[in-house]
Structure 1
Amino acid sequence: MCKSDPVTLFQLGISLSGVHMKAFNLYTLTRVRDSVNFSMLAQALSGRTWHKAFSAHETASLCALVDGLVPLLSEKGEEWVRFLDGFYFSYTIEHISKEFDLLKLSADADCVLNIELKSESIEEDRIRKQLEQNRYYLSHIARTILSYTYVMETDTLYFLNDHGYLGVSSFEDLVSALQRPVLQTFVEENIQEWFRAQDYLISPVANPEKLLTGRYFLTNQQADFRRQILELLTGDGQTADYPAYTGDNDIKPKQEGKEKSADDPSCADDSDTKPGQEEKEPENGGPAVTPVISLTGSAGTGKTLLLFDLAIALSKKKKVLFLHGGPLREGHRIIDQRLHKVTVLSGTESADTIPEVSAGTEYSSAQAARAPQTCKTIKKGTSPECDFLQEKNIREFQYILVDEANRFMSGTLENLLVRSAEFGIPCIFSYDPHSILGQIPPMEDAEAVIARHETLRLELSGNIRINRPIFSFLRTLFHQKDRAGHVNYDCIDVLYAGNRREEKLLTDYYLKKGYILLNGSRGRGILRSEDLISREYDRVLMVLDHRFYYDESLHLCADGTRGAAIAPLYEGLSRAREKLCLLVVDNPELFSQILAIREL
């Protein structure tokens, strides 16, 4: 009998509403001044399929902006209203919750006008940082970016130039921007086609250069958790606004073939504080409690990015040990070499670096076995899993960060926690308690060990890697009762092969279309769950054969279990970012059940 908790598999809280929007004229919207009717009219004009309630302050600030423009625009001729055409109001990029108050894109999107609205006065530094962040997102599509912020309370316009200088602007200047010839034709609908979350959301291991040069941003939730963690560990929640590298000189230039050494002066701790001394004494005079933080979340919620961001921030003044619960990849090696005070180690039996797999190829776990050993351990002669627990080694660090923590043996975690507490070294453990892999006893044991020691638990709840149709499809695939209603599944193919010959023809066809085959019959693309950690692919192809079926509670099972076959299936499918293909082989009943999801 196969059992599973249907809630904990995909408990991410993502809205599956569409984001198709139309541009509209701001003058038409601002003729309505009460927030209720304003919200209803905004929905009608924008073509949103869901209702968004705007507050009285949001309504008033947009109306005040337009009121300030009208007298100047009306001097431009009888057709002045057209200069307020083409705006998207309160647009949010999918997956990453990045919102823009007002956007206007030229027809080729080469020029963008961005206006942010504030009802009350705020610090100019906050205005500058928001506009700079907006420019980062917009720079992926436009060469010319016009960045303004309007503050209703003071009736003030600010403008951020191309060199990052923020200054007070004027309504006359904004009117000139609105009159630019390039903005007289504009993107009228489907703005979402210009913004791909994949362009902004990085995998730090797959894109180490972007991590190391700060070309990434955190979601609001990630940034909030970052602040809480740094406040707890350092007393300063604002320790280096992310990206954490900004203004830091602890990132090495590109170097080939050079590894860190414990004798490297650049790795020396420049603080006089020893492990444990940075902790505050408790008010009651009792023993200090060493922080143990659990950072949890399902696949694709951005745990690893946040953990590496924290490692960089903490390494500004202290040395950080970053332990990974699987084999190391080339990206780990690069990060390990380039960060002065961050040491990246594998906590598994092998310190091999796993090679990348390119589109249009089959994955094979044999590739991992052939990989060269490029990442060091601190002390030679012992396995990495035991090595980092040596007293001499662990005391070199002031912080320990553990990624994929529930893949460690429970005994190893217990020893690590005891040692870190003994020397006053705070730990952060990142893992996925919601995936079906959590049903495997060794992982449940590891999570229980962490839970017994944790002093703070934070859960990331928004999936930022998997696109929403794929997320919805996977949720229903693993439990047919967990349905999200009507979703457009155009990015998902469900195919059938009656025998292995047909399977090979179809898999070869999809490989030529740029898909990655992650599993199959006769050993094609055989994978191990641990080999897929920190990986992601644009297009994924996976095979389900006669072993798979739905039990009486409509949970997907294989060979009567939820482990050996289901776990790597989930790991593989959750790697897909853009497109997914499921090929069912010689299992007509399963095919009809899965196809029914596709046709919902």
Structure 2
Amino acid sequence: MRSISIYALTRNQNTDSLSKLERQLSGREYFLKIREWELQSMKALVRQLESHMTKVCSLRFFYSYQIPKLGKEFDLLQIKDDQIINIELKSGAVSEEAIRKQLMQNRYYLSVLGRSIQSYTYISSQNRLVRLTNHDHIAEADWTELCGSLQKESSDYQGNIDDLFQAELYLISPITEPARFLKKEYFLTSQQRDIQRQILKKLRISRFEYFCFTGLPGTGKTLLLYDIAMKLSRRQQICMIHCGNAGKEWKILHKRLQRIAFLSDNQLTENTELKHYSAILVDEAHLLSSEKLQILLTQSEGEFPVIFSSDSEDAICPEELGVNTLKLIENLPEIQMFHLTNRIRTNAELSSFIQNMIHLTDRKTSKPYPHVSVVYANNEEETAALLEDYIHQGYEYEITAVRDIKRLVIILDERYYYDQNRYLRSKHFKEGRSDVRNLFHQLNQAKEELSIIVRENTYVYETLLTLLQPDTVR
């Protein structure tokens, strides 16, 4: 998407022509539905700019831009080499606190570009221009000062604005980035905010409820769960149950969040007293055993709400799931289910490969997987040599905690195979848990590059090699 002249966009013309013009100028992939009030506000803005400067027609803005995956939208952005000017349009009166919150949030999202940021809001019905100060206050703005900044002799950004924003930079993990979480250096996506609002609204009405939100890794489930935990713990003590091995990575949160008690699922027994908590939140609930789930449900019934966060495991063969805890949770009486769909932190290329690897489908792809490699080892000696080489290159192996890993290497041995429905299967379970489930969740920790060493398993090796070839090559 390119920047456009808002002068050209605000010339009188019919609505159909206006949408076509906007698409032609911006290179947007779809026709933008321009709201009448926003168009009138933009026309009023242009008239004000014309009364304070010449050559308004030369100004270029990115209009109605939305950061991919986040749902965060900006009305007008002028992006130069060394500065960004953000102008939000309002037709009617808006509280200063609402304006302040919006501009502060905008500044947070724009800060990743490393340029000075000036933030304005124009209320057309009042012909009022305000700005966000460096001390996060709203102040009356000077038109001459704004026009001077807009005309600053610096090159406008000429490229596709999507190339400037990496959505994964905005999704933090409370477990691996506790300092940023505690400083509240994050904002929820529109989808996360909607789920949060629905849950908190329901809890204000009823004290005993079940909630569960699911999604692929990288959709922000843990951040959403912790954000809800922070809000619920303002008045009462709550309990966060972690499933899996996050271990030492919780320590900073344990020390700082006094109203949140932390338990691992291993600490959950029939003697664990939970009834004095006002709410229980369960992270990585797909790792919770059915026995632990039953202990939790027995204590919670009629006493306190339970909120589950779980990875979606739709790609895994049902037989490999065994006793599927998520299915048990989904069948709880009157439970409210939510599904996060925006994969923010997840590498789309790796995610696509992992989904297709776990369950081969007939979907064709013309896109290669340049950050995935598969090699073959005929025995343990060759496996060790290849593994040593990958580790030397900076890959990690034998991951014990749930966290993001830039470069991951794994080994697939002879136990793995594909069944008649093209699901990846394993010949045995390990400690009561499916190898395929373990593999799926381990694979999804890879953030940038993934390498697979296949040992003494030619069928799986050849299948993965074929998967790695784009459709034009097969």
TM-score (ref. length: structure 2): 0.86
Amino acid at match of 1:106: K
Distance 1:328 1:122, change over 3 A: same
Match of 1:372 in 2: none
In structure 1, what residue type is equivalent to 2:463? Answer: L
Q: Which runs of 5+ in 2 are unaligned?
A: none
Please name the residue that 2:159 is paired with. Answer: 189
- Correspondences of 1:103-502 after superposition (within 5 Å): 103-107=77-81, 110-181=82-153, 184-234=154-204, 290-348=208-266, 384-386=267-269, 389-390=271-272, 393-422=273-302, 424-436=303-315, 439=318, 440-441=320-321, 443-445=323-325, 447-449=327-329, 451-481=331-361, 483=363, 485-487=365-367, 489-490=369-370, 492-497=371-376, 499=378
Q: Compared with structure 1, are the counterparts of its residues 34 and 116 closer, same or farther at alpha carbon in structure 2 (3 Å cutoff)?
A: farther
Deviation of the 1:504 alpha carbon: 5.2
Residue 577 of structure 1 corresponds to 447
C-alpha spacing 1:197/1:290, structure 2 compared with 1 (3 Å): same
Q: Is the aligned partner of 1:96 residue 2:70?
A: yes
> What amino acid sits opposite 1:95 in the alignment?
K
Aligned counterparts of 1:214 and 1:545: Cα–Cα separation in 2? 44
Task: From the superposition, tell whether residues 406 and 35 of structure 1 become closer, same or farther in structure 2 (CA, over 3 Å).
Answer: same
2:288 and 2:416 map into 1 onto residues whose CA distance is 28
Task: Give 1:339 shift.
Answer: 0.9
Residues 36 and 53 of structure 1 are in contact (CA less than 8 Å); yes or no, is this contact kept in structure 2? Answer: no
Query: Shift of residue 221 of structure 1?
Result: 1.3
Are positions 1:537 and 2:410 aligned together? no
Number of residues of Structure 1 aligned to a counterpart in Structure 2: 466
Structure-2 separation of matches of 1:326 and 1:548: 23
Tell whether 2:391 aligns with 1:511.
yes
Q: Return the alpha-carbon distance in structure 2 between the equivalents of residues 311 and 470 of structure 1.
A: 31
Q: CA shift at 1:404, angstroms?
A: 2.1
Counterpart amino acid of residue 165 in structure 1:
H
Output the CA distance in 2 between the equivalents of 1:429 and 1:96.
22
Residue 332 of structure 1: how far off its partner (Å)? 1.6
Q: Which residue of 2 aligns with 1:593?
A: 466
Structure 2 CA distance, aligned partners of 1:438 and 1:154?
Answer: 60
Write the letter of the residue equivalent to 1:40: K
C-alpha spacing 1:469/1:155, structure 2 compared with 1 (3 Å):
farther
* 1:501-554 residue CA offsets vs partner (Å, 9 max, x unmatched): 66556544543443323xxxxxxx3x5xxx443x11233333445555544444
Distance 1:32 1:574, change over 3 A: farther
CA apart distance, 1:218: 0.7
Contact 1:407 1:443 in 2 (8 A): no
1:80-138 CA-partner distances (Å, limit 9, x unpaired) = 533x03x222333333222222222222xx42111122344432221110100111122
1:225–1:458 Cα contact (<8 Å) kept = yes
- In structure 2, the CA distance between the partners of 1:229 and 1:445, relative to structure 1 (3 Å rule), is closer
Q: Distance in 1 between matches of 2:157 and 2:181?
A: 32
CA distance in 1, matches of 2:419, 2:300: 44
Q: Offset of 1:219 from its aligned partner? A: 0.7
Q: For 2:281, what is the secondary structure of its paired residue?
A: strand
Report the secondary structure of 1:323's partner residue. strand
Task: Report the residue type matching 2:132 in the other structure.
Answer: L
User: 2:13, 2:409 → 1: CA distance?
Assistant: 52
Partner Cα separation in structure 1 for residue 32 and residue 391 of structure 2: 42
User: Residues 498 and 29 of structure 1: is their aligned pair in 2 closer, same or farther, counting only changes over 3 Å?
Assistant: farther
Are 1:437 and 1:443, in contact at CA under 8 Å, matched by a contact in 2? no
71, 81, 94: which one aligns with 2:57: 81
- State the identity %: 33
Q: Does the 8 Å contact 2:7/2:56 carry over to 1?
A: no
**8 Å contact kept, 1:404–1:432:** yes
CA contact (8 A) 1:90 1:99 kept: yes
Secondary structure in structure 1 of the residue aligned to 2:196: helix
| SS of structure 1 residue aligned to 2:52 | helix
Structure 1 regions of 5+ residues with no counterpart?
A: 1-20, 236-278, 280-288, 349-383, 518-524
Asked if 2 retains the 8 angstrom alpha-carbon contact of 1:298 and 1:435, the reply is no
Which of 10, 16, 23 does residue 43 from structure 1 map onto? 23
Residue identity in the other structure for 1:595? L
Q: Which residue of 2 aligns with 1:567?
A: 437
Offset at 1:560? Answer: 9.2
The letter for the 1-side match of 2:410 is M
How high is the TM-score relative to the length of structure 1? 0.69
CA distance, structure 2, for counterparts of residue 436 and residue 421 of structure 1? 32
Please say if residues 8 and 57 of structure 2, whose CA atoms lie closer than 8 Å, have aligned partners that are also in contact. Answer: no
| Alignment match, 1:18 | none
CA distance in 2, matches of 1:493, 1:449: 34
- The amino acid of 2:296's aligned partner reads L
Q: CA deviation at 1:59?
A: 4.0
